């Protein structure tokens, strides 16, 4: 009886380019570019990716055939299509956190009047996976899939604060401490002190560290082993989210995050 192959082929550990489908690799790079820069023309995508016009066009038409991208007329502007959303939604279905966080996020938005966010760590960065927007004209906005550095993010610092120290050190070694504003924490010792304060009070504060004029207050969500797996936050302009409000809002955010922890069978350490 012939045994069916499961998982990786025998040649998987051969690290040559033979294990990469180059056309697929280029197509995914082009898709990623369209997702990050919606509304660009064929010539703009070609220039940005460095690929030949014919290569980019064939890739876009192929992706369009699977609803991964769509073109807007007139002008031939390319955008991510519904097929990409369906595939992305499959990623979110891997966890109950997104589903269980929806109601606490809506409540949090109503209580604070500011945008509520849900994020996880992906590749040493924070990726926002859900959001409930505030109704104010000036408000925070992070589309699902948006990524950002952990050291200058409320959710990122909420996760780092409860990570083992060796894991924090490894992330910092790989990603560094890039400066975005005059308030960004760029010293490892300063960040460690900030994370210690975060653990003491139960929530993290991004005080205009990623974007001037914007503050974020975040708390972690834990799994059944007491490990941080996601973060819940409230973000808004600094003139509405004052540091004097941090204790009140922090308690609300922490309570909402604890509800999600409990609803998903997690345990707060």
pLDDT in tens, 176-207: 999 999 999 999 999 999 999 999 999 999 99
Tell whether 140 and 196 lie within a shared domain.
yes
Domain encompassing residue 31: 10-86
Residue 121 lies in a domain: yes
- On the 0-12 / 13-18 / 19+ scale of CB atoms within 10 A, 228 is buried
Residue closest to 237 by CA, chosen among 209, 210, 198, 208: 208
Q: Residue 56 sits in a domain of what CATH number?
A: 1.10.10.10
SS3 content of the chain, % helix, strand, coil (to 5): 45, 20, 35
Tell whether 27 and 114 lie within a shared domain.
no
Residues in Cβ contact with 12 at an 8 Å cutoff, skipping those fewer than 6 apart: 19
Tell whether 100 and 171 lie within a shared domain.
yes
Taking each helix axis from N to C end, the angle separating 154-162 and 188-201, rounded to the nearest 10 degrees, works out to: 80
Asked whether 222 and 95 are in contact (CB, 8 A), the reply is no
Q: Which of 52, 86, 120 is the last residue of a domain?
A: 86
Residue 108 lies in a domain: yes
Tell whether 185 and 156 lie within a shared domain.
yes
Query: Which neighbouring-strand residues pair with 266?
Result: none
Residue with tokens 């280029």: 26
Tell whether 250 and 217 lie within a shared domain.
yes
Residue 230 lies in a domain: yes
- Long-range contacts formed by 62-68: CB under 8 A, 24+ apart: 62/27, 63/27, 63/30, 63/31, 68/31
DSSP secondary structure string for all residues of 53-71:
HHHHHHHHHHHHHTTSEEE
Q: Which of 43, 59, 86 is the last residue of a domain?
A: 86
Tell me, yes or no, if the pTM score tops 0.75.
Answer: no
Tell whether 81 and 101 lie within a shared domain.
no
Tell whether 52 and 184 lie within a shared domain.
no
Maximum separation of any 2 CA atoms in the chain, in Å: 72
Tell whether 188 and 120 lie within a shared domain.
yes
Residue 225 lies in a domain: yes
Q: Taking CA 94 as the corner, what is the angle to CA 88 and CA 100, rounded to the nearest 5 degrees?
A: 100
Q: What is the pLDDT of residue 4?
A: 47
Q: Residue 215 sits in a domain of what CATH number?
A: 3.30.450.40
How many domains does the chain divide into?
2
Tell whether 46 and 104 lie within a shared domain.
no
Tell whether 224 and 199 lie within a shared domain.
yes
Element (H, E) at 22: helix 22-36
Residue 1 lies in a domain: no
| Per-residue DSSP letter, 12 | G
Find the length of the chain: 269
Tell whether 121 and 52 lie within a shared domain.
no
Q: What are phi and psi of 129, to 5 degrees?
A: -115, -15
In the chain, count H helices and then E strands: 9, 8
Q: Within 10 A of 80 (CB to CB), how many other CB atoms are there?
A: 20
pLDDT tens digit at each of 269 positions of the chain:
444 444 444 544 545 456 668 889 999 999 989 988 889 999 999 999 999 999 999 999 999 999 999 998 877 899 988 888 778 766 666 668 888 999 999 999 999 999 999 999 988 999 998 999 888 777 777 777 888 999 999 999 999 999 999 999 999 999 999 999 999 999 999 999 999 999 999 999 999 999 999 999 999 999 989 999 999 999 999 999 999 999 999 999 999 999 999 998 899 88
Tens-digit pLDDT profile for residues 30-50 = 998 998 888 999 999 999 999
CA distance 54 to 255: 54
Query: Which neighbouring-strand residues pair with 236?
Result: 215
Q: Which of 27, 56, 86 is the last residue of a domain?
A: 86
Tell whether 228 and 139 lie within a shared domain.
yes
Q: What is the pLDDT of residue 209?
A: 96
């Amino acid at each position: 009886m012939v045994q069916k192959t499961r998982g990786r082929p025998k040649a998987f550990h051969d690290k040559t380019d033979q294990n990469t489908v180059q056309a697929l690799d280029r197509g995914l790079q082009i898709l990623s570019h369209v997702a990050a820069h919606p509304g660009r023309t064929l010539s703009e995508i070609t220039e940005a990716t460095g690929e030949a016009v014919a290569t980019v066009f064939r890739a876009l038409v192929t992706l369009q055939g699977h609803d991964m991208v769509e073109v807007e007329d007139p002008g031939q502007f390319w955008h991510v299509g519904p097929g990409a959303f369906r595939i992305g939604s499959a990623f979110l279905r891997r966890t109950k956190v997104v589903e269980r966080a929806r109601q606490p996020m809506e409540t949090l938005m109503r209580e604070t009047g500011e945008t509520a966010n849900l994020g996880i760590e992906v590749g040493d960065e924070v990726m926002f996976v859900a959001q409930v927007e505030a109704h104010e004209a000036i408000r925070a906005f992070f589309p699902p899939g948006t990524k950002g550095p952990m050291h200058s993010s409320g959710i990122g610092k909420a996760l780092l604060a409860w990570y083992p120290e060796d894991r924090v050190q490894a992330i910092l070694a790989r990603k560094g401490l890039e400066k975005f504003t005059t308030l960004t924490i760029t010293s490892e010792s300063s960040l460690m002190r900030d994370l210690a304060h975060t653990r003491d009070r139960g929530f993290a504060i991004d005080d205009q560290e990623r974007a001037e004029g914007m503050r974020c207050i975040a708390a972690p969500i834990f799994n059944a082993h007491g490990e941080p797996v996601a973060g819940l936050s409230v973000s808004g302009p600094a003139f509405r989210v004052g540091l004097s409000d941090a204790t009140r809002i922090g308690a609300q955010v922490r309570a909402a995050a604890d509800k999600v922890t409990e609803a998903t069978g997690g345990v707060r350490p």
